[in-house]
Structure 1
Amino acid sequence: MEFLRPTTWAQALELKADRPEATPIQGGTDIMVELNFDKGRPAALLDLNQCRDLFEYEERDGKIRIGAGVPYVRIINRLGDRLPGLAQASRTVGSPQIRNRGTVGGNLGGASPAGDAHPALLAGDAVVEVESAARGSRMIPIDDFYVWVKKNALEPDELIRAVWLAPARGPQYFAKVGTRNAMVIAVCSFSVALYPETRSARTGIGSAGPTPLRARPAEDFLATQLNWDSPAPLTERVLREFGALAAAAAKPIDDVRGTADYRKHALSVLARRTLTWAWNDHLAERRAA
């Protein structure tokens, strides 16, 4: 196995073009586990740690651009006020050591349905910036990014450079169920984001389908049920219907972490809880205004 170590982003793109089979590595929190357990051995590893611009974030054109190498801990500490859903998801990732090394870019590259960042990225309407040496950069809406189990929309010669998200315009929440309280792969996860300006909501489902998913029928249901002009607490009927629609949108399987039926039940609970938290925050903001 070869170890390729570019010192610049341009060199990284050239190496990826020459060796499209090379697996990018930065935090190494996923690929090193697979190597240690002998679950796979890539022909080459492409180390991106010397590409220091990947470790930066900035606000540009009203959106926040997060480099593919920005670790979870920096999102938590520096961007939690503007991207609360993603920050909440980042707090659930592994141990402090993993949060210091792991990245949203790595989550996107691996495209595991159980990746903690995915539901928050879907709810937050993220856009993924990718680039190749031959064709330059392109922007992939998050809804088009996930293709199949651990498969994304990247071409063989492309690398993820950054992810773009608008600062939250309303409450956002993320929650997950695991077999223990910490350092656990999600049995299922759910995220919701409210958009008072457009009177809409977006959702994200994790670890309950071949790819991360949105619960679009649940979002459409909220569009007809939420009273943005004269907000009041949500009724039990609305919460239960939202939870049922969120669960119905999932496509889970039975595996070692949980059954499909349990995942659907847990998702309905997570959907009701996160929506309640988000709507209560919205009510509090309206009262304060």
Structure 2
Amino acid sequence: MDFLSPSTWEEALAAKSAHPDAVPIMGGTDVMVELNFGRRRPPALLDLTRIPQLRDHGPDDGYLRLGAGVPYTTIIERLRDRSPALAQAARAVASPQIRNRGSVGGNLGGASPAGDAHPPLLAVDALVELASVRGVRRVAAREFYHGPRRTARRDDELISAVLLPEPAGPQSFSKIGTRNAMVIAVASFSLALDAQARTVGTGIGSAGPTPLRAIEAEKFLASEFDWDGAASPSPATVTRFGELVASAARPIDDVRGSAHYRRHALSVMARRAVSWAVTDYRKEIARCA
């Protein structure tokens, strides 16, 4: 196995172009586990730890630009106001040691349907920035996932950043697992409200071959939500929203949970997310009054 260790971004892109089958590694929280257990043996590893700009973050034309190597701990401690749902998801990732190393870019690169970062990215309609020697392009997170561990990233491309829009309403993330920490989600759900556009975004994790949206649920809640006064939705509305979220899932039975349980859990999390959104929305209206 070859080990490539570029010191600049330009060198990294050139190395990926010359070795398209090289596996990028920065935090190593997924790749090294696969190597240690013999589940993967790539011909080359592309070490990106010496590329400083991958850990940069800051404003970018109305977005928060999050370098692909920004660790979860930084998101939790410094960026929670700019990316509330993603910060909640980051807090749910494994242990403090993993959160110090792991990143959203790594989650996107691995593209596991159970990755905690995926539902918030879908819910807020984030952009994924991909770079190669041919140039840079941005792909909506909603178009990034093509199948189990398959994405829109081309063989010669590296994930350079994620771009998150400015929050325009309440956001939340929740997941359920067999214990409170160090757990892969049995199911996860993210909700984001945009009070300016009066739209709703959702993200479903660990309940399908890819991270998913609940499009019909989004349309339904957007039409039923009281955007002017934040009155509590009727019990029937909340129940229906939960049903639509559950129906958008495509789960399977596995060692972590049954398909039936995953749908039930998503319905419960979706109903709770509506309650949290109403509470947070009222607080925002009160602050602006």
Taking structure 2 as the reference length, what is the TM-score of the superposition? 0.98
Residue 205 of structure 2 corresponds to 206
Give percent identity, aligned residues only: 59
Residue 172 of structure 1 corresponds to 171
- How much does 1:274 deviate? 1.2
Q: Distance in 2 between matches of 1:257 and 1:18?
A: 40
Could you report, residue by residue, the CA deviation over 1:83-127 in whole angstroms, capped at 9, with x for unpaired residues? 100000000001000000000000001110000000000011100
Q: Distance in 1 between matches of 2:239 and 2:232?
A: 14
Residue 63 of structure 1 corresponds to 63
Gaps of 5+ in 2: none
Counterpart residue identity of residue 86, structure 1 = L
Q: Distance in 1 between matches of 2:255 and 2:283?
A: 41
Q: Distance in 1 between matches of 2:121 and 2:217?
A: 17
Residue 247 of structure 2 corresponds to 248
Instruction: Give the SS at the match of 2:185.
Output: coil
Contact 2:124–2:192 (8 Å) recurs in 1: yes
Could you report, residue by residue, the CA deviation over 1:211-246 in whole angstroms, capped at 9, with x for unpaired residues? 000000000101221121232112211111000000
Q: Distance in 1 between matches of 2:230 and 2:86?
A: 26
Instruction: Give the SS at the match of 1:230.
Output: coil
Residue 91 of structure 1 corresponds to 91
Alignment of 1:143-182 (within 5 A): 143-182=142-181
Residue 74 of structure 1 corresponds to 74
Taking structure 1 as the reference length, what is the TM-score of the superposition? 0.98
Q: Distance in 2 between matches of 1:3 and 1:259?
A: 40
Counterpart residue identity of residue 99, structure 1 = R
Residue 45 of structure 1 corresponds to 45
Superposition RMSD on alpha carbons, in Å? 0.8
Residue 140 of structure 1 corresponds to 139
Residue correspondences, number: 288
Instruction: Give the SS at the match of 2:156.
Output: coil
Q: Distance in 2 between matches of 1:138 and 1:285?
A: 35
Which runs of structure 1 show a deviation greater than 3 angstroms over 4 or more consecutive aligned residues? none
Counterpart residue identity of residue 263, structure 1 = R
Gaps of 5+ in 1: none
Q: Distance in 1 between matches of 2:123 and 2:253?
A: 25
Residue 219 of structure 2 corresponds to 220
Residue 17 of structure 2 corresponds to 17
- How much does 1:287 deviate? 2.6
Contact 2:174–2:190 (8 Å) recurs in 1: yes
Could you report, residue by residue, the CA deviation over 1:40-90 in whole angstroms, capped at 9, with x for unpaired residues? 111110000011110100112111100001000001111001110000000
Q: Distance in 1 between matches of 2:24 and 2:180?
A: 30
